[in-house]
Every structure is written in structure tokens, then in C-alpha cells.
Structure 1
Amino acid sequence: MLSGGDEGSGLEGSVFEGVGWPELDPGILVLDGSEPMEVAAPRVRRFLEECLATGRAAESTSMASHPGPQRECWLVIGISGEGDLWMAIEPERLLWHADNPDRPMEHSIADHLGLDPREASVVVRGEPRPDRIAIPPGDRWSPGAFRAIHLDDAGVPVTVGQWGMRSSAPPPMEEMEEAGASRGAPPGGDLETSAPPPADDAPPPTFQATLSAQGPEALAPGETEFIEVRIERDGDGSLPLAKAVAGVEVLEAEPIQVMLSVRGRGLRVLGSRRIDLAPPAPGRASLGEFEVEAMEEGEVQVGVSFRQVGSELGAVRLSVRVTRDVAGDVSGDVSGDAGGLAGAGATPELGAQHRPPLTREMVEALPRDPGDDAILRLLIDEMEEDSRTFYRYRLVSEPLGFHYLTMDSQPLLDRDGGAAKKLDQYVARIHENLTRRLRRSDLPQFQVELEAAGISLCHELLSPDVARVLWPLRGRIQGVQITSWEPRIPWELVRLKDPDSGEVDDRYLAEYGLVRTFHGRTPPREFAMARWKFLAATYPHNTERSVLTEVGFITRELPAEGVEPERIEAGFEPLWTTITAGDFDVLHLACHGLADPGNIQTAALLIGDQPGESDEDPPKPIRIESESVRFSNALWNRRPLVFLHACEAGRHGLGLTEWGGWPTAFMEAGAGAFVGASWPVRDQPAEVFATTFYQALWSGATLSEAAQGAREAGKAQGDASWLAFKVYGHPRARRVVPPTAPPPRPPGDAPGDNSGRATEP
């Protein structure tokens, strides 16, 4: 068979892509798309067994894992038509359709797989194999369309590569014409283009899509199942896999990366934790799945994020219970409930039949923002394998050249210096060491101790490889976003050290505009900041020192801007009523707190005090527990900013089943952003930090910029308190100015005439 298309046609509208080829030619089985599935499936099964036996494929590789150009086992299927086309797919994908048929087995491979000419792979000929290939314009429908097949002089497929990263500068046209790359044309003629390529200054074409995901609700140890993902265009009439959010803005011509993150040892991921999906074509969803195996009993959190270029489009969090007591009949067909592709001949849901009840979650969606590209993202997974615990990092930044660069930390150590078998053993050691340093009463010595702690954290957390990659790029980093499950590690204190020269960075990681997020949660990019409520705790019975100084911006400057903040009485009922009502855009809490790293049930805010039950009893504090706030789910409507200054409030504890602490509590309750301190801070630096932070946000700065400005202002006080503040949210989130509001004044300007300023609705 010959590839369709004409070598010299259509190149003027091409997209130029880098392609990765395997070092050794892979095992390839060539099939005719018209061959009956009942004939092809046994051949493919034998072929895959041979690949496994020779090491060309990995055991239990999910058909959606897409290991990229290193994969050594491929099917190359000829799609018959007026012009013959090729498609490269994984053997596992065909076998799944054979094991889960939705039509008679005597039907063809092409019929079972729903192959479409527009899904054809790129074909290249001749030697040497090109590093970049020309992709003529047109829809790119499936993972097969992101692959390149190299034919020898006889027209026989010899290897398969994958393309995806757009080249920064295309080569001269004559150079690409010599490469001889072509996209096969659909039967009946050449590949059609719906429109000429956009001008350089025109925005790239986009469309609205729906993101969704689902997985098993419960699994028994040793059982394997799939976490399914789906992307489809809005208005196509098909149903998503779960309760999903529509209206996500997606680029027409860029692949979408779907990332899987699992917390703890309960589930083991079989195969890759990343899938690259083509943007869905009209009437046809892009589908993928991750295979997982249940390991240890307990509740397991799973995060699925959808990303395109530098932007996170949305995220979903699933909860899977691993238990030996999986109740009920789990063999029912739930494909109708999960939703499917509309229309005859549509591909069924991957793994949708014969499975346990599904766990579902709402997807949080964000529009594409090119400004996100400038942020360096560190996606961090907690890895617990065999007898060692470590962090796995994925670095993402288009300007810095990171396309999911994956690196591991060194094995983490416990308090005795041995290998930590669980993450909390390492965290306990870190907290003990930091607490010992933070108790220094001498300020200069305290500063020195923090610097030493930052260097030590770099060595333990980042490993020489990660530090070596980041070191020469420090001047180009415009912001840092850390996405993790673990909220207790003081990433703000990390100081990079060049592992080769020994030179130490003069900045902490906090000084790069560091903002945190949690896996499976996508905070909003906008804050209303129209309605403010605050609590400044008082303790009339002297159980604690009253907090009065750090709300100056709220009580003095906001009224000058036309906003009248509402003060919350220091009592349980007033504060709990406020939280559960959720009718505010900013909540500022200044009080004292308790947090026991070994028991999250003791994490509490001390918001006031009251007399004892009798005259002989001492006064007792008024408390509100973090777990009560966390499970209130009261803040999802307005997604407010919560600023909490409470001694110890930034510290977290590890519970038996869940992460605790106040950042987790408020973000899980629906807050759009959270700011909290990790250790007790002095009044004046806290006042400076809070005032500078609020002024910057009010004036239109992003969350990352406001955090950076507040840290700089706090640092100028000559006190290390500025390093205590952790900021959670979207790094590019900013205040939305109502249409009737005046332009924001720069931070620090004296308030002038306030007539005509907008008031709180």
C-alpha cells in the first residue's frame, strides 16, 4: 500500500512539528483495515505476547498510556479507500475493542475501531529520518494522527515516531519539501482546508468543550480498573462521563495533556500518568484512560488535570475506596449512565462495560490564558515504592523549554536518618528541625538558621538533577506554581544551590512569586472583592492576647474606596453563621490557633474566650475546628479569598484518612484562594504583609504579584516573618473591577475624594 496524498501539495499551509523516533526499530504488525476483527484479534494477541516476551512492551501497559517514541510495539493499519492511508495504534487498543465488541466480530477492523481517514498518521519516506515534519492543515482527530510512520524504499512500515511540540521556528519551505512528508488525503480527493491559516497577529482558533472523568467507587486489593477521561465539543449532543462543566475554551490545533496524580500507596498506576489527546473533532469525543491497581486498603484521592500548552483547562478529583468488602453486584453495565457517543457506529466508552459503581466529581473549568505560559509549574507527586519514599517532579514551562520534564528527588529520610517508608515520617522530621530553628530568640541567628534550612531543603527535596536544571534559568523565572497533595512542606523556604559550583541563590523560592495549588482542584482566575467580612479576635478573660493591629487596611482604607467591611463578633455562632452563609468575597480572620501535626482533630482557631462553667473553673477558649469548616462546602458559590493569620495556623497534621489543616479546610470548602502563616509572626511585619498584599490585589495585581510584593515589603522590615506566609490559589487570579467602579489607585496613594465611588452591592 502507498500513502495517500501528494508530496508536493499543501505545504504552504503546513504546521511544522518536531518528531521523536525510537533508537531501535520497533516490532510492527501490518494489518488491512478491511480484515475481519475475528481474524485479526488472534494475530494481534500473539504479536503482543511476542513483544512482551522480547521486552518490546511492558506488562499491563494501558492502551492509553502512550509512552511516546520509546514504545517498541505498534500496529500499522491500512485504511482502504480511493487513496490508501496508514494509521499507527497500540495493540492493546484493538484488543480492547475485540474483548468489548459493540458489533459482530465478522465486521472489519476499521468498523470496530471507527477509523476515519482524517485520523491517518503522517507518512515519511527516505533517509535520513527528518527531525521535523510538515503537517498539512486540517483536523487532527485522534492519537493516531499525532504519529509518524516511516516507510522504506519498498513502501513497508519500519518504525513509528510521535510529534507534538511545535517548533519555535519552521525551516525554510524548500527544506520541508525535500523532507517528503505528507498527510494522507481522505477518499475522494485532496485534504480540504476550511480556512487559510490565521495571520501572525490573529488569535488562534478555539472552540468550547466539555471535560469529564470518572473512576471506580470501590476496588478490592489486587483488582485493576480504569480512570476514564473524555473531552468533547459543546453542542454535539453526547453525554460526558461525569457531572462535568461545559464551556471550556480549547485551542483547535494543540494537543491536550491529561495528567493523573494519586496520593499514597492505595492505588498503583499501571503505565504512564500522562495521556496526550487530540482536540475533539465535531461529533466525535477524544477518549482516554489510565489503568490502576488497588494495593492497600483505605480511601485514595485521585486528581486528573487537563492542560493545553501552558494553561490548565480544568481539574477533577475522584475518591476511590480500597476495601476487601466491596459490597453489591459490581458487574452491571453502567455505560448508559456514564454517557456515550451519539450516532450509529460510534466508538463505545473505554472500559465502560462490566465495572463497579462509579465515583463522580464536578470538573472545574478555566478558559485558556496565554499569560499562563510564563509561569514555571512544578507538578509534584508523592511516590511510595517498595521501602522508599520520594517526590516525582514534572516541570512545565514553554518559555523555559520544559515540556513535562520528569525528575525524582532523592529518597526521603525519617527522624532517625533512615529511609522514610511513609511521607509523614519525613514531614515529622522536617517539622522538628524547623521548629527547633524557629525557637531561636535571637533575630540575627534566626535569619541564619532559616538560610541554612533553605539550603538543606533544596538538597533533600529537589535532588542535584532538578537544581542543576533550574540554576541557570533563575533570571528568567517569572513566577512559580507548585501543585501537590502535600501541604506541609515549606517550599517557600527552599534556596537553590548549584550542585556543581556550590553557589547559593540569594533568593528563597518564595521570592519567585510562589503560589500553591492542590491536585484535582482548579482555583478561579477572578476575585470580586466587593463584600468583605473580618474577625479580629478579642480575649476579655485574658486566655490569649487580643489581635487588633493587622486589619488597618480593612478598617481604614476600604471605606475610603467605597467598601464598608462587616465586622464579625468574636464568638462561635457569629463566625459559623458567616462561614456557612458564604455571602462574602473576602474573609479576614485574625486570631490565635492550635495545630498538632500528629492529630488533625486538634486543629482549631481560638476566636475568643468565655467564663468557665462555674466560678471555680478557669476561662475557656472559644474554638472552631478545621474539619467542621472543611466539610461545610459553603464557599463554592462565591469562591472567596480567605486570609487567616493565626499562630500555628499554617501547620498541618496527618489524619488517619485525610489531610487536615486550614489551607486544606478552606480550599476544600470552596475558597478561591487562601493565605496563612506557618509560624507565629510579629505584629508589625504581619500588618505590612497584609496591607501590601491587599493594596496590590485591589490595584489589579495578580495573586502571584501581590504575594511577591507583600513578601518584598515584609522582608524590608528586617524580620523573617514574611517567609511564614503561604499563598494558595491561581497565580494569575486578579480582582474583577465592577463596571461602575473607578480606576484603582496605586498602592500607598492617599485616598482622595471618594464621591461617586461604587459601594458594596
Structure 2
Amino acid sequence: MADELIDPVLTVHRLSRYGPPRFPAARADRALVFVDSQGVYDSYMPPERPSRVRVAANRYVAVYEVDVGRHRFTADLRLPSADGALEFDVAVEAGWQVTDPVRFVASGERDVPGLLLREFRCAALPVTRRFSVDDSDRVERQLLRELAELERMGTDYGLEVIWHPRLRTERATPARERDVRPLSMEEEREVPPRRMEGQREVRRDSTRREAQDAADERLQQERIAAYELLLDQLAQGDDAGSFLKHSRDDRYISIDDLLERDTAPDAQPEPRRLVAELAEQAPPGREVPLQVQVTRGGGGPGVALRGFALPAQGARLLITVHAPGLLALGDLQQELTVSAGKDSDVLRFGLRTTRTGLHTVTVRAFHGGSFLGEIRVQISVEADVPARDGPPRGAALDSLAFDPGEATLQVLKAQDGTYSFQLLSETSYAPESFRLLAGDPERATKNIYQELRDTAAAAGGGADARRVRERLRNLGVSLWGDAVPDAVRRQFWEEAHRIRALTVLGEHDVVPWELLYPLDGDQEGEGFLAEWLPIVRRVFGQDRVRELALSRAAFVVPPGSPPEAEQEVAALRAKFGSTMADGGTLSRRSEVQDLVNSGLAGLLHFACHNSFTESGSRVAMADGRFDPMDLAYARRAGALRATRPLVFFNACRSAGQISWYSANLGWAPQFLKAGAGAFVGTLWPVRSDSALQFADAFYDHLVTERLPLGEASMKARQAIRDHAGDPTWLAYAVYGSPAARVTAG
């Protein structure tokens, strides 16, 4: 049994369309997961392997080799006690095994110990915070009871998990370490007998567990040896099936697992599109039904969707409607099933015109907690005009796949100033209407950003890092209570153990979501929300992009940029090396504009000053001012939709927005609606040295380690969060799909 395995996906092989298929040789502890061009997975547990005819017929494009043996890892954690300053020193040991290779591969998770430790901390924190360090034996027994439930969490990722936590000695935080000393012999004699007996009981339990682990390991080795023998027999043409059918030894697998499943081939992928139809003109007081459907075929109205295969039971989507200015005559969210070989049923949403004017209705599709796409239709309401039907409108849904553990918080603003919050995960909750307690949210946000700007400026100059952390925490706790409705907070805690990433979908920059610190009574996470969950944002009209092809990198460094800008660019060029072509350094507005309008590919990294005022953002370039309005042509033309670049705007408050007629104008929405795959910017002015360190860590995780966008940004925050009270680690806003990964250009 291999120890300390990080990623059970051992190899990934691309399969050529030409020539015979080649994939890893059969091994007793290796499963194969094949995937076709539409993202549909098939698994083959050992010793089952597909024939070459089946591989060709199913048009597989790649095969993952997955370790399905049993593994173990250990880690040391410090968890807070009820005493506050003192902590428990916990030795964590966990045994794990991939039992559903398809679910694990599809999850995108590639660090099993990291995943399990995050889950352990979430489950353990509420326990340890209830006890003082003198109750270590009670804590360990309580942890074992709590972890019995936690062992089932691995099923979301296709894992079977067994936990063995042990408390060692108490440990103090540095501030109190001088007050902690070993017990004298006299003090040891005064330890209550019940506590000593409890500790002996825990040690006996630990010994029994270790003995059972050793027995399990021996059995696993015997199983593997039997599998290898069986594979040899199969290779020699022996009747291994007959041999196994009469065996009752637990070392051997069932004959049912050996027989090739004779399932019908998957239905051929079909192009699909999301279609909505609404009257384009009507007088006030008229009922105007909105009809929504997912249809087959590449022709007709709208944009043809990339083909995708569906499971036999179909895919169930949640459709939501946002219709400000119109009266809803029923629920504005319904479900529909997309089945293979036919169009979906037509959903009908009842709407009635009330006020005159031009009104926009937005239809969005979700699968689980993953946002799939949206359509916008408009209706003109005028007095004394006849009703006139509008043409069907369509929008692309690149895939119906959803990412396990992803949740979306949809935030909509009504015309009366209230906000609608809706948490969408594998459980979809009803929207909650809410008026922000701070009154004018823009003014409250501006005040928060000003304080954070001042804090960043003072960092490193003798500021008390602990006091700054406490102040930030108080701001975050206050935001959590004032900016998130009670019902949504309750829903969050109900889903927290299942949420692996959170997407905030909204047009209005009303809350610094990254600063939220979830706390409700005895329910508390592991700090700031962005500290223990990947947090990404999404603007309306932004496409869902799951792959970022970073073949080249261009840098924007205009005259007057911070002194560290050139150092930042030089460090990034050295980091990327030969993996990205050098797109040069741009200093003129015309150069940047031409590059974007012509279809920028790869990475565009800004290292410069960004001025943000009530009139918006701007960058002083060598040939004049560059601001988001300069991206209007690219936005309307969709200039970046074919290339899906990553834009990193490492400048002061580059994620800020202003109102422009009926839309928000800022770097993020402009680049994203032009087709960018992802955008990274800051919410308030940041320190140049911290900005450089964040960028370095972010690219390490995203480009070098190939972690998903959400996880890469979370780890980059963690890398710089302890820098002398500097809040820069919370300043970055990341827009995109949390599961998006870098691919070879």
C-alpha cells in the first residue's frame, strides 16, 4: 500500500483518432476512466478493460489511469480551544480509497489530503471550541463521534474515508507560550483518576485501530496478489471466470465485476440551444407570457450549442427569470428536463405589463449550483399600441455539466432599491427580498474601501497586525449580518459542508463579498469566507469558460507605473519561461486597443496605476487616457469570444464600477462581456510589494500547478495573508468559473 499519495490520477493519455488505441496496461489496483469529446465518462474497474473496437466506436479522446488502492496520510493540526489563547495539538491520520473513479475524475480535485484536511477542520472546529485544553480526552471521543458522519462526505468525490484523529499535548499560541510548562511529579499525582482512565481508554482504542489497519493492509496486499494472478490467467486464455465463480474467498472479486458490461452505446451528441420568446411590444395591463425551451439542432434562431451527450435519465435544469418593471403572475423559477433525442418541454412564465418604457427580461439556466448561461429579451410597453410578438431569442450553453460542490449566490437589484438574494446549489432555495441595512450600499462600501485603503497604507510601518486582523474580522462579521438576509445565512449553514466553491452572480458591485466573515452564534467557519472557500464573481452576460489557453503573455506597463512594475514583469517572464510566448510590453493605449479588438489570446497582465473616481477608472498611457469606454467596440463585437484570454489588472481598484446609463461600467464587465475567460482585479488600492507577491503565488498555483481558478486564487490569498496587517490578500476580486483550468496553448 502506497502512503502519502496526493493525486490518485496517475496518468492521463490522449488517444489518437488514427492508428490503434493505446492505453495503460492492466493492473490490479488501477482503474481506467475514458472520456469522449463531449465530456462523457466511462470507467473500467480492474481487471475489466474495453476492447479496441469499443474504444473506437465510443470515440474516446483520453484515458485517465486512477489508483483505486487504499492509502493513508498523516498531518498535524492546531485547533482552537474554548480558552481562546490555547490550542489543541491534533495528529490526524486518515485512510482513503477511490471507489468511484468517474466521480473523482469529474470533480477536478487533485489533492486528496488537502481536500480531506479542509473537511476535517470544518467538522472539528465546532467541537474543539466547546472544550478547554484540560478536556483533551473528551474532545477526542467527541471527535470520533462527529467523524462517523464526516466519513460519508467523501462520496461526493468518489472516495471512501476512515478517520483516526489523536490529541497529543496541549499547545499554546506564541502570545501565551511562556505561561505553559510541563507538569511536575506532584501535579501529575493530582490528575483526576477519571481523566487518567479516559486517556488510557483512548490509547487502547488507538492500539485496536492500528491493529485493524495492519490487518486491512495485509488483506489488501493479498487481494492485489490475487488480482495479479487472475490477470496472468486471463492473458494466457485460462478460464479465470470459472475459477472465480466457485471461490468464496474474500480476497477475490466477484465474477460480476469481471464480465464486460454489454451496455448500449451512448446516444450521439446533439447540438442544443436555449430559446426564449416574449412579445416585443404591448400596452400596459396586458398579460405577456414568456416561453422558455431547450431545443435540438444547430439551425434556427440563436447560437447553435456545442453537442453534448446526456445520461439516460436526462439532465434537470433550473430556469430563473428576472423581470424588473413587469408584474409576475406566478413563480419565476421552474425546472425542466433535457432528454436525449428530443426537445425539452416548454416552460411558461406569466408576466403582465404595468409601467410604460423599455423593460429587459433575463432568463438564466443552472444545473445544480453551476451557472450555465442566460438569454435577454426586451419588451416595449407603450399606451395605445397593439401587442406584437417578438422573435425567439437564443443563447449558447456550452455544456450541461455541473461542478460538484459549486454553489451560486444570485443577487438582483429591483427598481425600488431592494435586492433579491438566491442561493443555488444541489438544493435550490427561493429568492429572498432584502433591503441592505446600511441604507445606501454604495456609500457604505465606499467607507469600507477607504478604511481598507488606509489600513493597507499603514501596513508594515509598525501597525499592530493582531489589532488589524481583529478590525478586519469585525468588519467582515458586520457585513455578514447586515448584507446577507437571515434566510440566506441559514441556507448557507445547511449547505456549508457540501459547498466547495461559491460564485456570486450579480451586476451591481454592492458588497465586498471577499471580506465576509460568516458567524452566527456557535456556527463559524474557518475565518473569512475567501480564506476557506474559493470565491469567484460573475457578471450578467459573461460566458461560462472552463478552459484558459495561455499560449502567450503580454504586459501593460505605461510611463509612471510603480517602481515595482518592471520587477513584477521580469519575475513573471522568468516564471513562464518557454511555456508562454512573449507578447511584449505595451505602453500606448492604441497598442492595447488594437490587441484587444483583433482578438487578444493568452494572458494580458497590467502592472500599473489605475485611477478610480466617481467618474470611473482610467490608466494614463503614453498616448493618452485609457478607460473602460475604450472597450465598447470589443464588447459589442465579442472580440475575445474566440480566444477567451485571462486579464489580470494588478492595479489600484481595478475591479471598481460606476453606473453608466442602465449598465455598470468597469474593467471587469467590459473585458468579460467582450469574451474574456477570466478577470482578476482589486477592490481598493493595494501595496505594490503585496501585489507582486499575490501575482507570483496566483500564477504558481494556476499555471505551474494547474489548479482550478477558484482554488488558485484562494491559495494565493493564503500565501500573503500574514504580511504585517496588510489587507491586500482580501482586495482581489476574481471573475470566471471556479473550475476553469489552464490548458496548453
Matched, 1:318 2:339: no
Aligned runs of 1:646-725 on 2, under 5 Å? 646-698=651-703, 699-718=705-724, 719-725=726-732
CA–CA distance in 1 between the matches of 2:515 and 2:326? 31
1:312-359 superposed Cα distances (whole Å, 9 cap, x missing partner): 4x31231425453798x754xxxxxxxxxxxxxxxxxxxxxxx1x337
Q: Distance in 1 between matches of 2:473 and 2:262?
A: 47
Shift of 1:475: 5.2
Contact 1:317 1:519 in 2 (8 A): no
The aligned counterpart of 2:432 is: 408
Change beyond 3 A, Cα 1:396–1:203: farther
1:463 corresponds in structure 2 to 485
Which residue does the alignment assign to 1:640? Answer: 645
Cα distance in structure 1, aligned partners of 2:660 and 2:626: 23
Once the two structures are TM-superposed, the CA of residue 666 in structure 1 deviates from its matched residue by: 0.6
- 2:578 equivalent to 1:572: no
Aligned residue in 1 for 2:543 = 522
Give the superposition deviation at 1:587. Answer: 1.1
- How far does residue 727 in structure 1 lie from its aligned partner after superposition? 0.7
1:378 aligns with 2:409: yes
User: What are the Cα deviations for residues 79-100 of structure 1, in whole angstroms up to 9, with x where unaligned?
Assistant: xxxxxxxxxxxxxxxxxxxxxx
String of CA shifts for 1:201-238, please: whole Å, max 9, x gaps: 99997853512223344555444323322223448xxx
Are 2:744 and 1:727 equivalent residues in the alignment?
no
> Shift in Å at residue 551 of structure 1?
2.5
- Please report how far the alpha carbon of residue 199 of structure 1 lies from its aligned counterpart in structure 2 after TM superposition: 7.2
- Where 2:641 maps in the other structure, the secondary structure is coil
Query: What whole-Å deviation, never above 9, does each CA across 1:549-582 have from its counterpart, x for those lacking one?
Result: 3324432122x23423212431111111111111
Inter-partner Cα distance in structure 2 for 1:390 and 1:736: 38
Where in structure 2 are the equivalents of 1:494-533 lying within 5 Å? 494-498=516-520, 500-501=521-522, 506-509=527-530, 511-533=532-554
**Is the alpha carbon distance of 1:557 and 1:438 closer, same or farther for their aligned partners in structure 2, counting shifts above 3 Å?**
closer
Which residues of structure 2 form unaligned runs of 5+?
A: 1-154, 157-259, 460-464
Q: SS at the partner of 2:653? A: coil
Distance 1:449 1:310 in 2: 33
Which amino acid letter does the alignment assign opposite residue 549 of structure 1? Q
User: What is the distance in 2 between the residues matched to 1:432 and 1:470?
Assistant: 27
With over 3 angstroms needed to count, the CA separation of the structure-2 counterparts of 1:594 and 1:223, relative to structure 1, is farther
Contact 1:471 1:496 in 2 (8 A): no
Structure 1 residues 364 and 477, CA, compared in 2 at 3 Å: closer, same or farther? closer
Instruction: Give the letter aligned to residue 576 of structure 1.
Output: Q
Where do residues 44-83 of structure 1 align in structure 2 (5 Å cutoff)? none
Determine if the alignment matches structure 1 residue 271 to structure 2 residue 330: yes
> How far did 1:241 drift?
5.1
**In structure 2, what residue type is equivalent to 1:592?**
H
Q: Aligned partners of 2:344 and 2:648: how far apart in 1?
A: 41
Contact 1:208 1:247 in 2 (8 A): yes
TM-superposed deviation, 1:245: 1.9
Structure 1: runs of 5+ lacking an equivalent: 1-166, 169-197, 332-354, 398-402, 416-424, 611-619, 739-761
1:207–1:252 contact (8 Å) kept in structure 2 = no
Query: Does 2:399 match 1:366?
Result: yes
Measured after TM superposition, the shift of residue 485 of structure 1 is: 2.7
Q: Distance in 2 between matches of 1:199 and 1:482?
A: 42
CA distance in 1, matches of 2:271, 2:398: 10
Question: 1:287-308, CA deviations, whole angstroms, 9 ceiling, x for partnerless residues?
Answer: 2232333444555443323334
What is aligned with 1:427?
A: 442
Confirm or deny that 1:243 pairs with 2:243. Answer: no
Aligned to 1:212: 274
Q: Which residue of 2 aligns with 1:182?
A: none
Question: Match for residue 480 of structure 1?
Answer: 502
- The answer to whether the 8 Å contact 2:593/2:631 transfers is no
Structure 1 contact 375–477 (Cα < 8 Å) conserved: yes
Distance 1:464 1:562, change over 3 A: closer
Structure 2 counterpart of 1:577, one-letter code: D
Q: Say if 1:673 and 1:727, in contact at 8 Å, map to a contact too.
A: yes
SS at match of 1:250: coil
Q: Which amino acid aligns with 2:629?
A: E
Q: CA deviation at 1:467?
A: 2.4
Q: TM-score, normalised by structure 2?
A: 0.58
- Secondary structure of the structure 1 residue equivalent to 2:289: strand
Q: Distance in 2 between matches of 1:702 and 1:203?
A: 31
- SS of the residue corresponding to residue 286 of structure 1 reads coil
Using the alignment, how far apart are the partners of 2:505 and 2:264 within structure 1?
32
Change (3 A) 1:231 1:546: same
Q: Distance in 2 between matches of 1:648 and 1:736?
A: 29
Q: 1:591 to 1:630 in 2, by over 3 A?
A: farther
TM-superposed CA distance for 1:251, in Å, is 3.1
Q: Tell me the distance in 1 between the aligned counterparts of 2:393 and 2:565.
A: 42
Cα shift at 1:360: 3.2
Q: Which residue is equivalent to 1:262?
A: 322
Residue 714 of structure 1: CA displacement?
A: 2.1
Cα deviations across residues 43-64 of structure 1 (Å, max 9, x unaligned)? xxxxxxxxxxxxxxxxxxxxxx
What does 1:384-395 align with in structure 2 at a 5 Å threshold?
A: 389-395=418-424
> What letter corresponds to residue 557 of structure 1 in structure 2?
K
- TM alignment of 1:499-648, pairs within 5 A: 500-501=521-522, 506-509=527-530, 511-539=532-560, 547-558=565-576, 560-597=577-614, 602-609=615-622, 625=629, 628=632, 630-648=635-653
Partners of 1:636 and 1:671 within 8 A in 2: yes
- Relative to total residues, which structure has the larger helix share, 1 or 2? 2
Alignment root-mean-square deviation, CA: 3.5
Secondary structure, aligned partner of 1:459: helix
SS in 1 for 2:566: coil
Give the C-alpha shift of residue 517 in structure 1: 1.6
Compare 486-495 and 279-288 and name the one that shifted more: 279-288
State how far apart, in whole Å, the 2-side matches of 1:241 and 1:732 are: 30
CA separation of 1:635 and 1:204: change in aligned 2, threshold 3 A: same
* CA shift digits 1:428-461 (9 cap, x unpaired): 3332344245334544455443222211111122
Q: Is the 8 A contact 2:543 2:675 kept in 1?
A: no
Q: Distance in 2 between matches of 1:621 and 1:203?
A: 58
- Give CA-to-partner distance per residue, 1:140-190, whole Å, 9 cap, x none: xxxxxxxxxxxxxxxxxxxxxxxxxxx99xxxxxxxxxxxxxxxxxxxxxx
The residue identity in structure 2 corresponding to 1:706 is A
Q: Scaled by the length of structure 1, what TM-score is found? A: 0.57
- Contact 1:528–1:585, Cα closer than 8 Å, also in 2: yes
Distance in 1, Cα, partners of 2:548 & 2:451: 38
Distance of aligned partners of 1:234 and 1:650 in 2 relative to their CA distance in 1, 3 Å threshold: same
The C-alpha deviation readout for 1:55-82, integer Å capped at 9, x for no partner, is xxxxxxxxxxxxxxxxxxxxxxxxxxxx
Q: CA deviation at 1:728?
A: 0.8
1:267 touches 1:295 (CA, 8 Å); kept in 2? yes
User: Cα deviation per residue 1:659-703 (whole Å; 9 max; x = unaligned)?
Assistant: 111111111111111111111111222112111212222232111
How far off is 1:715 after superposition?
1.3
Identical positions, percent: 23
Tell me, yes or no, if structure 1 residue 290 matches structure 2 residue 294: no
In 2, the alpha carbon distance for the partners of 1:284 and 1:442 equals 60
In structure 2, give the amino acid aligned to 1:517.
R
